[in-house]
Structure 1
Amino acid sequence: MKERLLDLIRAELRSRFDRLSRAAKEAHAAATDPGSKAEGKYDTRSLEASYLATGQARQVEELAQDVAAFEAATLRDFGPDDEIEAGALVEVDLDGESSWFLLAPAAGGLELEWEGRDITLLAPSSALYGRLLGMKMGDSAENPALFVSEVM
């Protein structure tokens, strides 16, 4: 069941990687172009282009790691009595608002739509990821109020 979700995540990450890679190459070209050489002491175009190229290169590297993590990932199905762990798709009532989260190996914060659900990926570094680990369907916690309504 989750194989289609995994395919969707992989496709989205690859698409973002391709777009960001192209943008990073363009930023690098702009930073190294002889025409961007400073024309005076207050002309910072080349410096700004260099900062942009460096930041985008770092983002490309991080996204490549996310793509690799999902290429190797598998997502097992969970039942209502299973403890939440990595790979669980969880519906949570968080302070009165229902949300779907996937405890993912990487790409925290990525949002996508799958089978009529808006799903947000939680990376292991997320505080909510840590709070959900070990919980089961029907469990609740306080501060903020959290109720696990479904686990898949």
Structure 2
Amino acid sequence: MNKADLLQQIIKQLTTDLALLLAAAKSAHAAATHEENIPDNKYATLALEASYVAQGQANRASEIRRALEAYKQLDSRTIATGTVRLGALVELTDEEGATKVVFIGPLEGGLKILHGGREIVVITPASPLGRELLGKAVGDEVESANSEYEILRIT
């Protein structure tokens, strides 16, 4: 698997997510400030609710912008040290022989990318599995969420 291509896919997905979120925030802001939504009594809260939604979406957009910057600065050409670290692509196998691939990213854990016909899940060093994986090598075993995994490959 090509990590440079994977990073570009992550950046593209985050860019798409940001564009959608900004459009939704703009729509919520328009609803919050529309003249028809001006409250005429204390029970008319549509404008207030729309402003809360707009603020939440703006906060999320800010998080995605930070993630985009972090991924743009991540170097896909880092030389493999033999241990799991930030930017590593790690293939794991569980007790039943099922494999999964995770990418140790700086932010946006939980993001799923289809790359090379396989699903790759982005995890962060702050996640339970990410914490367990950091510093481990091929052949090491880690435990997370009542599952045990063996590290098959690190790139």
TM-score, normalised to structure 1, is 0.90
Per-residue deviation at 1:78? 6.2
Structure 2 residue aligned with 1:151: 154
Alignment of 1:65-144 (within 5 A): 65-76=66-77, 82-94=82-94, 96=96, 97-142=98-143, 143-144=146-147
Moved over 4 A (4+): none
Q: Check the 8 A contact 2:88/2:103 in 1, yes or no.
A: yes
Per-residue deviation at 1:144? 3.2
Distance 2:58 2:67 in 1: 14
Distance 1:55 1:95, change over 3 A: farther
Distance 1:45 1:148, change over 3 A: same
Identity of paired residues, percent?
A: 34
| Post-superposition CA distance 1:80-117 (Å, at most 9, x none) | x7011111101112454422100011111110100111
List alignment gaps of at least 5 residues for structure 2: none
- Equivalenced residues, count: 151
Distance 1:29 1:95, change over 3 A: farther
- The residue type equivalent to 1:13 in the other structure is L
Distance 1:123 1:140 in 2: 18
> What is the Cα-based RMSD across aligned positions, in Å?
1.8
Q: Check the 8 A contact 1:76/1:88 in 2, yes or no.
A: no
Q: Check the 8 A contact 1:76/1:87 in 2, yes or no.
A: no
TM-score, normalised to structure 2, is 0.88
